[in-house]
A and B are shown apart, each in its own frame.
Chain A
Protein backbone atom coordinates (compact mmCIF):
# COMPACT_ATOMS: atom_id res chain seq x y z
CA UNK A 1 0.00 0.00 0.00
CA UNK A 2 1.28 3.45 -0.93
CA UNK A 3 1.48 5.64 2.13
CA UNK A 4 0.92 9.26 1.17
CA UNK A 5 3.54 11.92 1.77
CA UNK A 6 2.27 13.64 4.91
CA UNK A 7 4.39 16.70 4.18
CA UNK A 8 1.86 17.44 1.43
CA UNK A 9 -1.23 19.18 2.73
CA UNK A 10 -4.69 18.15 1.56
CA UNK A 11 -6.50 21.46 1.23
CA UNK A 12 -9.79 21.82 3.11
CA UNK A 13 -12.37 24.40 2.06
CA UNK A 14 -13.29 25.88 5.43
CA UNK A 15 -16.34 27.83 4.23
CA UNK A 16 -17.52 24.84 2.20
CA UNK A 17 -17.25 22.50 5.17
CA UNK A 18 -19.11 24.87 7.47
CA UNK A 19 -21.88 25.49 4.96
CA UNK A 20 -22.28 21.79 4.34
CA UNK A 21 -22.62 21.25 8.08
CA UNK A 22 -25.20 24.03 8.31
CA UNK A 23 -27.24 22.06 5.76
CA UNK A 24 -27.12 18.92 7.87
CA UNK A 25 -28.50 20.87 10.77
CA UNK A 26 -31.63 21.75 8.81
CA UNK A 27 -32.62 18.14 8.16
CA UNK A 28 -35.78 17.26 9.99
CA UNK A 29 -36.44 13.67 10.96
CA UNK A 30 -39.88 12.71 12.19
CA UNK A 31 -41.99 9.88 13.53
CA UNK A 32 -40.80 6.30 12.83
CA UNK A 33 -37.56 7.48 11.25
CA UNK A 34 -36.84 9.55 14.32
CA UNK A 35 -37.51 6.65 16.66
CA UNK A 36 -35.27 4.44 14.54
CA UNK A 37 -32.49 7.03 14.54
CA UNK A 38 -32.76 7.62 18.29
CA UNK A 39 -32.46 3.91 19.02
CA UNK A 40 -29.56 3.60 16.60
CA UNK A 41 -27.79 6.53 18.23
CA UNK A 42 -28.25 4.93 21.65
CA UNK A 43 -26.67 1.71 20.36
CA UNK A 44 -23.70 3.79 19.22
CA UNK A 45 -22.97 5.42 22.56
CA UNK A 46 -19.71 4.74 24.34
CA UNK A 47 -20.86 5.48 27.86
CA UNK A 48 -17.90 7.29 29.32
CA UNK A 49 -16.57 8.19 32.72
CA UNK A 50 -13.03 9.56 32.86
CA UNK A 51 -12.67 11.35 36.15
CA UNK A 52 -10.10 11.16 38.88
CA UNK A 53 -12.99 10.41 41.22
CA UNK A 54 -14.17 7.27 39.39
CA UNK A 55 -14.66 4.85 42.26
CA UNK A 56 -15.44 1.17 41.64
CA UNK A 57 -19.01 1.98 42.67
CA UNK A 58 -19.33 4.70 40.04
CA UNK A 59 -18.05 2.33 37.33
CA UNK A 60 -20.38 -0.43 38.50
CA UNK A 61 -23.33 1.96 38.30
CA UNK A 62 -22.31 2.99 34.78
CA UNK A 63 -22.09 -0.65 33.67
CA UNK A 64 -25.61 -1.32 34.89
CA UNK A 65 -26.76 1.80 33.09
CA UNK A 66 -25.16 0.40 29.92
CA UNK A 67 -26.96 -2.91 30.24
CA UNK A 68 -30.32 -1.59 31.43
CA UNK A 69 -30.55 1.99 30.15
CA UNK A 70 -34.16 2.48 31.24
CA UNK A 71 -35.63 -0.28 33.35
CA UNK A 72 -39.19 0.94 32.78
CA UNK A 73 -38.95 -0.05 29.10
CA UNK A 74 -37.20 -3.37 28.39
CA UNK A 75 -37.36 -2.83 24.62
CA UNK A 76 -34.69 -0.18 24.71
CA UNK A 77 -31.36 -1.31 23.21
CA UNK A 78 -28.07 -1.39 25.11
CA UNK A 79 -25.22 1.01 24.42
CA UNK A 80 -22.14 -0.05 22.44
CA UNK A 81 -19.43 0.19 25.05
CA UNK A 82 -18.24 1.46 28.38
CA UNK A 83 -15.19 3.72 28.35
CA UNK A 84 -13.08 3.89 31.52
CA UNK A 85 -9.53 4.32 32.80
CA UNK A 86 -7.28 1.19 32.70
CA UNK A 87 -7.49 0.52 36.45
CA UNK A 88 -11.28 0.16 36.19
CA UNK A 89 -11.21 -2.17 33.16
CA UNK A 90 -11.17 -5.45 35.09
CA UNK A 91 -14.23 -4.50 37.11
CA UNK A 92 -16.16 -3.33 34.03
CA UNK A 93 -15.21 -6.46 32.07
CA UNK A 94 -16.43 -8.69 34.91
CA UNK A 95 -19.79 -6.98 35.13
CA UNK A 96 -20.34 -6.74 31.37
CA UNK A 97 -19.22 -10.29 30.62
CA UNK A 98 -21.66 -11.98 28.27
CA UNK A 99 -23.70 -8.82 27.69
CA UNK A 100 -22.12 -8.03 24.32
CA UNK A 101 -21.14 -4.57 25.51
CA UNK A 102 -17.54 -3.71 24.71
CA UNK A 103 -15.08 -2.46 27.28
CA UNK A 104 -13.05 0.45 26.01
CA UNK A 105 -10.16 1.92 27.93
CA UNK A 106 -8.25 5.11 27.39
CA UNK A 107 -4.52 4.55 27.56
CA UNK A 108 -1.17 6.05 26.47
CA UNK A 109 -1.03 8.75 29.16
CA UNK A 110 -4.53 10.02 28.50
CA UNK A 111 -5.37 12.88 28.08
CA UNK A 112 -2.08 14.66 27.36
CA UNK A 113 -0.04 11.77 25.93
CA UNK A 114 3.05 13.21 27.60
CA UNK A 115 4.40 9.97 29.13
CA UNK A 116 7.42 8.04 27.96
CA UNK A 117 6.85 5.75 25.01
CA UNK A 118 7.65 2.68 27.18
CA UNK A 119 5.14 3.59 29.87
CA UNK A 120 2.49 4.32 27.25
CA UNK A 121 3.00 0.92 25.58
CA UNK A 122 2.93 -0.70 29.00
CA UNK A 123 -0.40 0.97 29.74
CA UNK A 124 -1.94 -0.33 26.50
CA UNK A 125 -0.80 -3.88 27.27
CA UNK A 126 -2.07 -3.61 30.83
CA UNK A 127 -5.52 -2.47 29.70
CA UNK A 128 -5.77 -5.28 27.14
CA UNK A 129 -4.64 -7.85 29.74
CA UNK A 130 -7.28 -6.59 32.15
CA UNK A 131 -9.97 -7.26 29.55
CA UNK A 132 -10.35 -4.19 27.36
CA UNK A 133 -11.27 -4.98 23.77
CA UNK A 134 -11.04 -1.40 22.59
CA UNK A 135 -8.17 1.00 23.29
CA UNK A 136 -8.59 4.77 22.95
CA UNK A 137 -5.10 6.25 22.52
CA UNK A 138 -4.00 9.87 22.26
CA UNK A 139 -1.47 11.06 19.71
CA UNK A 140 1.50 13.25 20.64
CA UNK A 141 0.13 16.60 19.59
CA UNK A 142 3.45 18.29 20.36
CA UNK A 143 5.18 16.11 17.76
CA UNK A 144 2.42 16.56 15.23
CA UNK A 145 2.44 20.34 15.55
CA UNK A 146 6.24 20.32 15.27
CA UNK A 147 5.89 18.56 11.95
CA UNK A 148 7.28 15.21 13.11
CA UNK A 149 4.66 13.23 11.26
CA UNK A 150 6.79 10.08 11.13
CA UNK A 151 7.02 10.10 14.92
CA UNK A 152 3.23 10.23 15.22
CA UNK A 153 2.80 7.58 12.54
CA UNK A 154 5.27 5.26 14.27
CA UNK A 155 3.76 5.68 17.72
CA UNK A 156 0.29 4.83 16.41
CA UNK A 157 1.67 1.75 14.62
CA UNK A 158 3.47 0.71 17.81
CA UNK A 159 0.32 0.99 19.91
CA UNK A 160 -1.63 -0.88 17.27
CA UNK A 161 0.83 -3.72 17.63
CA UNK A 162 0.61 -3.57 21.44
CA UNK A 163 -3.19 -3.77 21.20
CA UNK A 164 -3.12 -7.28 19.76
CA UNK A 165 -6.70 -8.30 19.07
CA UNK A 166 -8.20 -5.19 20.64
CA UNK A 167 -9.51 -2.39 18.42
CA UNK A 168 -7.54 0.83 18.36
CA UNK A 169 -9.24 4.22 18.41
CA UNK A 170 -6.92 7.14 17.77
CA UNK A 171 -7.80 10.40 19.52
CA UNK A 172 -6.56 13.37 17.52
CA UNK A 173 -7.61 16.00 20.09
CA UNK A 174 -8.78 18.29 17.30
CA UNK A 175 -9.22 21.19 19.71
CA UNK A 176 -5.43 21.46 19.80
CA UNK A 177 -4.77 21.00 16.09
CA UNK A 178 -5.78 24.55 15.16
CA UNK A 179 -6.77 24.11 11.48
CA UNK A 180 -8.97 21.82 9.41
CA UNK A 181 -5.93 20.97 7.27
CA UNK A 182 -4.18 19.68 10.38
CA UNK A 183 -7.23 17.65 11.33
CA UNK A 184 -7.25 16.12 7.87
CA UNK A 185 -3.54 15.37 8.04
CA UNK A 186 -3.72 13.82 11.49
CA UNK A 187 -6.68 11.72 10.33
CA UNK A 188 -4.71 10.45 7.34
CA UNK A 189 -1.70 9.62 9.51
CA UNK A 190 -3.87 7.70 11.98
CA UNK A 191 -5.75 5.83 9.28
CA UNK A 192 -2.65 4.78 7.36
CA UNK A 193 -0.87 3.81 10.59
CA UNK A 194 -3.59 1.26 11.32
CA UNK A 195 -6.35 2.92 13.33
CA UNK A 196 -9.64 1.04 13.48
CA UNK A 197 -11.40 4.22 14.54
CA UNK A 198 -10.45 7.86 14.53
CA UNK A 199 -11.81 9.94 17.37
CA UNK A 200 -12.05 13.70 17.72
CA UNK A 201 -11.31 14.51 21.31
CA UNK A 202 -10.47 13.50 24.83
CA UNK A 203 -13.35 15.53 26.19
CA UNK A 204 -10.91 17.27 28.51
CA UNK A 205 -10.40 20.43 26.50
CA UNK A 206 -12.77 22.77 24.71
CA UNK A 207 -13.77 22.77 21.90
CA UNK A 208 -14.32 19.03 21.84
CA UNK A 209 -16.25 17.35 19.00
CA UNK A 210 -17.79 19.76 16.50
CA UNK A 211 -19.66 18.87 13.34
CA UNK A 212 -17.25 20.59 10.90
CA UNK A 213 -14.24 18.82 12.39
CA UNK A 214 -16.07 15.51 12.23
CA UNK A 215 -16.98 16.14 8.61
CA UNK A 216 -13.32 16.73 7.71
CA UNK A 217 -12.46 13.43 9.39
CA UNK A 218 -15.28 11.67 7.55
CA UNK A 219 -13.83 12.95 4.27
CA UNK A 220 -10.49 11.37 5.21
CA UNK A 221 -12.26 8.07 5.93
CA UNK A 222 -14.11 8.27 2.64
CA UNK A 223 -11.00 8.96 0.59
CA UNK A 224 -9.24 6.04 2.26
CA UNK A 225 -12.18 3.76 1.57
CA UNK A 226 -12.34 4.79 -2.08
CA UNK A 227 -8.61 4.12 -2.39
CA UNK A 228 -8.31 0.85 -0.49
CA UNK A 229 -11.82 -0.51 0.08
CA UNK A 230 -11.19 -0.62 3.85
CA UNK A 231 -13.66 0.88 6.28
CA UNK A 232 -12.38 2.93 9.21
CA UNK A 233 -14.73 3.94 12.03
CA UNK A 234 -15.45 7.40 13.38
CA UNK A 235 -16.05 8.52 16.95
CA UNK A 236 -16.90 12.10 17.80
CA UNK A 237 -16.49 12.58 21.55
CA UNK A 238 -17.19 15.32 24.03
CA UNK A 239 -19.77 18.08 23.89
CA UNK A 240 -22.55 16.05 22.23
CA UNK A 241 -25.25 16.34 24.85
CA UNK A 242 -28.61 16.28 23.14
CA UNK A 243 -30.46 13.89 20.90
CA UNK A 244 -31.04 16.51 18.23
CA UNK A 245 -27.31 17.03 17.70
CA UNK A 246 -26.76 13.26 17.65
CA UNK A 247 -29.34 12.91 14.87
CA UNK A 248 -27.58 15.63 12.88
CA UNK A 249 -24.37 13.64 13.18
CA UNK A 250 -26.12 10.54 11.86
CA UNK A 251 -27.44 12.51 8.90
CA UNK A 252 -23.91 13.73 8.22
CA UNK A 253 -22.49 10.20 8.32
CA UNK A 254 -25.22 8.84 6.09
CA UNK A 255 -24.81 11.59 3.52
CA UNK A 256 -21.01 11.49 3.55
CA UNK A 257 -20.15 7.81 3.87
CA UNK A 258 -23.45 6.08 3.17
CA UNK A 259 -25.70 3.81 5.19
CA UNK A 260 -22.87 1.26 5.51
CA UNK A 261 -21.40 3.36 8.31
CA UNK A 262 -24.64 3.56 10.30
CA UNK A 263 -23.63 0.77 12.64
CA UNK A 264 -22.00 0.69 16.06
CA UNK A 265 -19.12 -1.18 14.43
CA UNK A 266 -18.18 1.93 12.46
CA UNK A 267 -19.67 4.88 14.27
CA UNK A 268 -19.71 5.77 17.96
CA UNK A 269 -20.54 8.70 20.17
CA UNK A 270 -18.24 9.30 23.11
CA UNK A 271 -20.60 10.80 25.65
CA UNK A 272 -22.08 10.49 29.10
CA UNK A 273 -25.13 12.76 29.33
CA UNK A 274 -26.22 12.06 25.73
CA UNK A 275 -27.59 8.62 26.63
CA UNK A 276 -30.24 10.03 28.96
CA UNK A 277 -31.37 12.64 26.48
CA UNK A 278 -31.73 9.93 23.84
CA UNK A 279 -33.75 7.86 26.30
CA UNK A 280 -35.99 10.80 27.12
CA UNK A 281 -36.61 11.45 23.44
CA UNK A 282 -37.31 7.77 22.75
CA UNK A 283 -39.92 7.69 25.51
CA UNK A 284 -41.32 10.99 24.23
CA UNK A 285 -41.72 9.44 20.76
CA UNK A 286 -43.45 6.43 22.24
CA UNK A 287 -45.78 8.17 24.68
CA UNK A 288 -46.23 11.61 23.14
CA UNK A 289 -45.38 13.26 26.46
CA UNK A 290 -42.30 15.36 27.09
CA UNK A 291 -40.10 13.72 29.72
CA UNK A 292 -38.26 14.88 32.82
CA UNK A 293 -34.76 13.80 33.92
CA UNK A 294 -36.32 13.08 37.32
CA UNK A 295 -37.56 9.75 36.00
CA UNK A 296 -34.31 8.50 34.42
CA UNK A 297 -31.44 6.91 36.29
CA UNK A 298 -28.20 8.83 36.38
CA UNK A 299 -25.35 6.99 34.78
Chain B
Protein backbone atom coordinates (compact mmCIF):
# COMPACT_ATOMS: atom_id res chain seq x y z
CA UNK B 1 0.00 0.00 0.00
CA UNK B 2 1.65 3.15 -1.14
CA UNK B 3 1.06 6.58 0.35
CA UNK B 4 0.69 8.13 -3.01
CA UNK B 5 -2.11 10.64 -3.37
CA UNK B 6 -4.15 10.19 -6.53
CA UNK B 7 -3.98 13.14 -8.87
CA UNK B 8 -7.57 13.93 -9.77
CA UNK B 9 -8.08 15.39 -13.17
CA UNK B 10 -9.54 18.89 -13.47
CA UNK B 11 -11.75 18.56 -16.49
CA UNK B 12 -11.93 21.73 -18.53
CA UNK B 13 -14.57 23.07 -20.85
CA UNK B 14 -14.07 22.52 -24.56
CA UNK B 15 -14.93 25.72 -26.43
CA UNK B 16 -13.91 26.67 -29.96
CA UNK B 17 -11.28 23.93 -30.15
CA UNK B 18 -9.61 24.96 -26.90
CA UNK B 19 -9.77 23.55 -23.40
CA UNK B 20 -10.48 26.44 -21.09
CA UNK B 21 -11.51 26.91 -17.50
CA UNK B 22 -14.88 28.41 -16.71
CA UNK B 23 -14.90 32.21 -16.68
CA UNK B 24 -16.89 31.86 -13.43
CA UNK B 25 -13.89 30.14 -11.81
CA UNK B 26 -16.33 27.81 -10.08
CA UNK B 27 -15.88 24.06 -9.84
CA UNK B 28 -17.80 21.07 -8.65
CA UNK B 29 -16.89 17.51 -7.85
CA UNK B 30 -18.15 14.46 -9.65
CA UNK B 31 -18.49 11.24 -7.67
CA UNK B 32 -17.92 7.66 -8.78
CA UNK B 33 -20.44 4.88 -8.26
CA UNK B 34 -19.13 4.34 -4.71
CA UNK B 35 -19.73 8.04 -3.98
CA UNK B 36 -15.97 8.75 -3.83
CA UNK B 37 -14.51 11.86 -5.53
CA UNK B 38 -13.85 11.10 -9.19
CA UNK B 39 -12.90 14.39 -10.80
CA UNK B 40 -13.14 18.14 -10.48
CA UNK B 41 -15.34 19.67 -13.13
CA UNK B 42 -15.73 23.24 -14.30
CA UNK B 43 -19.07 24.73 -13.41
CA UNK B 44 -19.78 26.33 -16.76
CA UNK B 45 -21.63 29.62 -16.60
CA UNK B 46 -24.06 31.51 -18.80
CA UNK B 47 -21.10 33.38 -20.31
CA UNK B 48 -19.21 30.18 -21.08
CA UNK B 49 -22.36 29.04 -22.85
CA UNK B 50 -22.48 32.29 -24.80
CA UNK B 51 -18.83 31.88 -25.82
CA UNK B 52 -19.48 28.30 -26.89
CA UNK B 53 -22.45 29.33 -29.01
CA UNK B 54 -20.38 32.07 -30.62
CA UNK B 55 -17.67 29.53 -31.44
CA UNK B 56 -20.25 27.13 -32.86
CA UNK B 57 -21.75 29.87 -35.03
CA UNK B 58 -18.35 30.86 -36.33
CA UNK B 59 -17.50 27.29 -37.26
CA UNK B 60 -20.84 26.39 -38.82
CA UNK B 61 -20.49 27.71 -42.36
CA UNK B 62 -17.03 26.21 -42.74
CA UNK B 63 -18.13 22.82 -41.45
CA UNK B 64 -21.23 22.73 -43.65
CA UNK B 65 -19.04 23.84 -46.57
CA UNK B 66 -16.72 20.85 -46.28
CA UNK B 67 -17.42 18.05 -48.67
CA UNK B 68 -19.70 15.35 -47.31
CA UNK B 69 -16.90 12.90 -48.00
CA UNK B 70 -14.52 14.90 -45.79
CA UNK B 71 -17.03 15.06 -42.94
CA UNK B 72 -17.31 11.28 -43.22
CA UNK B 73 -13.54 10.92 -43.03
CA UNK B 74 -13.44 13.05 -39.91
CA UNK B 75 -16.21 11.09 -38.19
CA UNK B 76 -14.36 7.92 -39.06
CA UNK B 77 -11.24 9.44 -37.57
CA UNK B 78 -13.19 10.01 -34.35
CA UNK B 79 -14.01 6.30 -34.31
CA UNK B 80 -10.32 5.49 -34.76
CA UNK B 81 -9.30 7.73 -31.90
CA UNK B 82 -12.00 6.30 -29.66
CA UNK B 83 -10.77 2.81 -30.47
CA UNK B 84 -7.29 3.90 -29.35
CA UNK B 85 -8.67 5.08 -26.03
CA UNK B 86 -10.90 2.05 -25.53
CA UNK B 87 -9.35 0.90 -22.28
CA UNK B 88 -9.51 4.37 -20.78
CA UNK B 89 -13.19 4.70 -21.54
CA UNK B 90 -13.98 1.22 -20.24
CA UNK B 91 -12.18 2.02 -16.99
CA UNK B 92 -13.84 5.43 -16.65
CA UNK B 93 -17.31 4.08 -17.34
CA UNK B 94 -16.83 1.21 -14.93
CA UNK B 95 -15.58 3.62 -12.32
CA UNK B 96 -18.40 6.04 -12.81
CA UNK B 97 -21.47 3.97 -13.30
CA UNK B 98 -21.68 0.48 -14.74
CA UNK B 99 -20.33 -3.07 -14.74
CA UNK B 100 -17.20 -3.91 -16.70
CA UNK B 101 -19.08 -5.99 -19.24
CA UNK B 102 -21.59 -3.27 -19.84
CA UNK B 103 -18.80 -0.66 -20.11
CA UNK B 104 -17.03 -2.74 -22.75
CA UNK B 105 -20.10 -3.17 -24.87
CA UNK B 106 -20.96 0.52 -24.54
CA UNK B 107 -17.53 1.62 -25.79
CA UNK B 108 -17.61 -0.83 -28.69
CA UNK B 109 -21.04 0.31 -29.68
CA UNK B 110 -19.99 3.97 -29.51
CA UNK B 111 -17.11 3.27 -31.91
CA UNK B 112 -19.40 1.39 -34.30
CA UNK B 113 -21.97 4.16 -34.13
CA UNK B 114 -19.45 6.75 -35.24
CA UNK B 115 -18.51 4.52 -38.17
CA UNK B 116 -22.22 4.16 -38.97
CA UNK B 117 -22.71 7.93 -39.25
CA UNK B 118 -19.36 8.38 -41.00
CA UNK B 119 -20.82 6.25 -43.76
CA UNK B 120 -24.02 8.26 -43.98
CA UNK B 121 -22.55 11.75 -44.57
CA UNK B 122 -22.39 11.48 -48.35
CA UNK B 123 -25.43 9.25 -48.74
CA UNK B 124 -28.30 10.75 -46.78
CA UNK B 125 -28.62 13.78 -49.14
CA UNK B 126 -29.18 11.42 -52.05
CA UNK B 127 -31.72 9.44 -50.09
CA UNK B 128 -33.75 12.41 -48.87
CA UNK B 129 -33.51 14.66 -51.92
CA UNK B 130 -36.17 14.56 -54.58
CA UNK B 131 -36.95 15.79 -58.03
CA UNK B 132 -40.53 17.00 -57.93
CA UNK B 133 -43.05 16.89 -60.75
CA UNK B 134 -44.48 20.38 -61.36
CA UNK B 135 -47.02 21.75 -63.84
CA UNK B 136 -44.76 24.34 -65.44
CA UNK B 137 -41.49 24.31 -67.39
CA UNK B 138 -39.35 24.11 -64.30
CA UNK B 139 -36.85 21.67 -63.00
CA UNK B 140 -37.93 21.43 -59.36
CA UNK B 141 -35.80 19.73 -56.73
CA UNK B 142 -35.55 19.55 -52.96
CA UNK B 143 -32.39 18.98 -50.93
CA UNK B 144 -31.63 18.80 -47.21
CA UNK B 145 -29.45 21.51 -45.66
CA UNK B 146 -28.11 21.74 -42.10
CA UNK B 147 -30.25 23.58 -39.55
CA UNK B 148 -27.27 25.46 -38.09
CA UNK B 149 -26.22 25.59 -34.47
CA UNK B 150 -27.72 22.83 -32.33
CA UNK B 151 -27.81 22.84 -28.54
CA UNK B 152 -27.52 19.32 -27.13
CA UNK B 153 -28.54 18.41 -23.60
CA UNK B 154 -26.95 15.07 -22.75
CA UNK B 155 -28.73 12.18 -21.02
CA UNK B 156 -27.86 11.20 -17.46
CA UNK B 157 -27.32 7.53 -18.14
CA UNK B 158 -25.54 5.92 -21.05
CA UNK B 159 -22.74 8.39 -20.42
CA UNK B 160 -20.74 7.57 -23.55
CA UNK B 161 -23.08 5.93 -26.04
CA UNK B 162 -25.81 8.47 -25.32
CA UNK B 163 -23.51 11.37 -26.00
CA UNK B 164 -22.00 9.87 -29.16
CA UNK B 165 -25.46 8.99 -30.47
CA UNK B 166 -26.56 12.60 -30.07
CA UNK B 167 -23.47 14.35 -31.41
CA UNK B 168 -22.70 12.14 -34.41
CA UNK B 169 -25.90 12.63 -36.48
CA UNK B 170 -25.94 16.35 -35.73
CA UNK B 171 -22.41 16.99 -37.01
CA UNK B 172 -22.69 14.40 -39.78
CA UNK B 173 -25.34 16.66 -41.28
CA UNK B 174 -23.13 19.77 -41.27
CA UNK B 175 -24.43 21.36 -38.08
CA UNK B 176 -22.25 22.52 -35.23
CA UNK B 177 -23.23 21.90 -31.62
CA UNK B 178 -22.91 23.00 -28.03
CA UNK B 179 -23.23 20.12 -25.59
CA UNK B 180 -24.41 20.59 -22.01
CA UNK B 181 -23.16 17.38 -20.48
CA UNK B 182 -24.72 15.41 -17.68
CA UNK B 183 -23.83 16.60 -14.18
CA UNK B 184 -23.21 13.02 -13.09
CA UNK B 185 -20.98 12.05 -15.98
CA UNK B 186 -19.29 15.28 -16.99
CA UNK B 187 -15.88 13.64 -16.83
CA UNK B 188 -16.81 11.18 -19.59
CA UNK B 189 -17.96 14.08 -21.76
CA UNK B 190 -14.66 15.74 -21.03
CA UNK B 191 -12.65 12.72 -22.15
CA UNK B 192 -14.80 12.46 -25.26
CA UNK B 193 -13.93 16.12 -25.96
CA UNK B 194 -10.28 15.10 -25.90
CA UNK B 195 -11.04 12.43 -28.50
CA UNK B 196 -12.86 14.97 -30.66
CA UNK B 197 -9.99 17.41 -30.25
CA UNK B 198 -7.49 14.88 -31.56
CA UNK B 199 -9.50 13.75 -34.55
CA UNK B 200 -9.40 16.56 -37.11
CA UNK B 201 -12.77 17.98 -36.08
CA UNK B 202 -12.35 21.74 -36.65
CA UNK B 203 -12.50 23.88 -33.52
CA UNK B 204 -16.01 25.06 -32.66
CA UNK B 205 -17.85 22.22 -34.43
CA UNK B 206 -18.35 20.42 -31.12
CA UNK B 207 -18.25 22.41 -27.89
CA UNK B 208 -18.62 20.65 -24.57
CA UNK B 209 -19.68 22.31 -21.33
CA UNK B 210 -19.87 20.80 -17.89
CA UNK B 211 -21.86 22.40 -15.11
CA UNK B 212 -25.25 22.51 -13.52
CA UNK B 213 -27.83 21.81 -16.15
CA UNK B 214 -30.51 23.87 -14.47
CA UNK B 215 -28.28 26.97 -14.79
CA UNK B 216 -27.57 26.48 -18.47
CA UNK B 217 -30.61 24.97 -20.16
CA UNK B 218 -32.88 28.01 -20.09
CA UNK B 219 -30.17 30.22 -21.62
CA UNK B 220 -29.38 27.60 -24.25
CA UNK B 221 -33.03 27.36 -25.23
CA UNK B 222 -33.49 31.14 -25.17
CA UNK B 223 -30.38 32.11 -27.14
CA UNK B 224 -31.46 33.66 -30.43
CA UNK B 225 -28.43 32.32 -32.29
CA UNK B 226 -29.19 28.68 -31.54
CA UNK B 227 -31.33 27.12 -34.26
CA UNK B 228 -32.33 23.89 -32.63
CA UNK B 229 -32.31 22.14 -29.27
CA UNK B 230 -31.99 18.44 -28.76
CA UNK B 231 -32.55 17.19 -25.23
CA UNK B 232 -32.18 13.67 -23.95
CA UNK B 233 -32.40 14.62 -20.30
CA UNK B 234 -35.47 13.21 -18.66
CA UNK B 235 -36.59 16.17 -16.58
CA UNK B 236 -40.15 17.44 -17.09
CA UNK B 237 -39.40 20.84 -15.57
CA UNK B 238 -36.47 21.45 -17.93
CA UNK B 239 -38.42 20.15 -20.90
CA UNK B 240 -41.03 22.77 -20.18
CA UNK B 241 -38.42 25.53 -19.96
CA UNK B 242 -36.83 24.41 -23.22
CA UNK B 243 -40.15 24.51 -25.03
CA UNK B 244 -41.09 27.88 -23.60
CA UNK B 245 -37.81 29.56 -24.42
CA UNK B 246 -37.41 27.90 -27.80
CA UNK B 247 -40.46 29.74 -29.14
CA UNK B 248 -38.53 33.03 -29.18
CA UNK B 249 -36.86 32.25 -32.48
CA UNK B 250 -38.91 29.18 -33.32
CA UNK B 251 -36.19 26.67 -32.64
CA UNK B 252 -36.60 23.13 -33.77
CA UNK B 253 -36.92 21.12 -30.55
CA UNK B 254 -36.43 17.38 -30.27
CA UNK B 255 -36.69 15.28 -27.13
CA UNK B 256 -35.00 11.88 -27.24
CA UNK B 257 -35.59 11.05 -23.63
CA UNK B 258 -37.04 7.59 -24.07
CA UNK B 259 -34.53 6.13 -26.45
CA UNK B 260 -32.51 3.05 -25.53
CA UNK B 261 -29.17 3.99 -27.07
CA UNK B 262 -27.82 0.46 -26.75
CA UNK B 263 -30.32 -0.79 -29.31
CA UNK B 264 -29.60 -1.10 -33.01
CA UNK B 265 -32.68 1.06 -33.78
CA UNK B 266 -31.01 3.99 -32.04
CA UNK B 267 -28.99 4.72 -35.17
CA UNK B 268 -30.47 5.73 -38.46
CA UNK B 269 -30.29 8.49 -41.07
CA UNK B 270 -33.59 9.81 -39.72
CA UNK B 271 -31.64 11.12 -36.73
CA UNK B 272 -29.59 13.17 -39.22
CA UNK B 273 -32.78 14.40 -40.87
CA UNK B 274 -34.07 15.77 -37.57
CA UNK B 275 -31.52 18.54 -38.00
CA UNK B 276 -31.93 19.27 -41.70
CA UNK B 277 -34.08 21.82 -43.50
CA UNK B 278 -35.46 21.02 -46.92
CA UNK B 279 -34.66 23.59 -49.58
CA UNK B 280 -36.66 23.51 -52.78
CA UNK B 281 -35.38 25.17 -55.93
CA UNK B 282 -37.28 26.02 -59.11
CA UNK B 283 -35.04 26.15 -62.12
CA UNK B 284 -36.52 27.19 -65.50
CA UNK B 285 -36.05 24.74 -68.35
CA UNK B 286 -36.59 25.21 -72.07
CA UNK B 287 -39.05 23.04 -73.96
Interface residues of A (CB under 8 A from B): 288-295
Contacts and interface: CB of A to CB of B under 8 A. Distances in A.
Nearest to A288: B222
Interface residues of B, number: 10
A294 B224 contact: yes
B249 A290 contact: no
B248 A290 contact: no
A295 B222 contact: no
Interface in B240-261: 245, 248-249
B244 to A, nearest CB: 12
B138 interface: no
B86 interface: no
Most B CB within 10 A of own CB, among A290, A292, A294: A290
20 contacts: A288-B222, A289-B219, A289-B223, A289-B224, A289-B248, A290-B50, A290-B53, A290-B222, A290-B224, A290-B225, A291-B224, A292-B223, A292-B224, A292-B225, A293-B225, A294-B224, A294-B225, A294-B249, A295-B224, A295-B249
A295 to B, nearest CB: 6
Given A288-B222, A294-B224, A295-B249, 13 more contacts: A289-B222, A289-B245, A289-B248, A290-B53, A290-B219, A290-B222, A290-B223, A290-B224, A290-B225, A292-B249, A293-B225, A294-B225, A294-B249
B222 A291 contact: no
A164 B134 CA distance: 66
Contacts of B224: 289-292, 294-295
A188 to B, nearest CB: 41
B151 to A, nearest CB: 12
A291 B224 CA distance: 5
A297 to B, nearest CB: 15
Contacts of A291: 224-225
Nearest to B149: A292
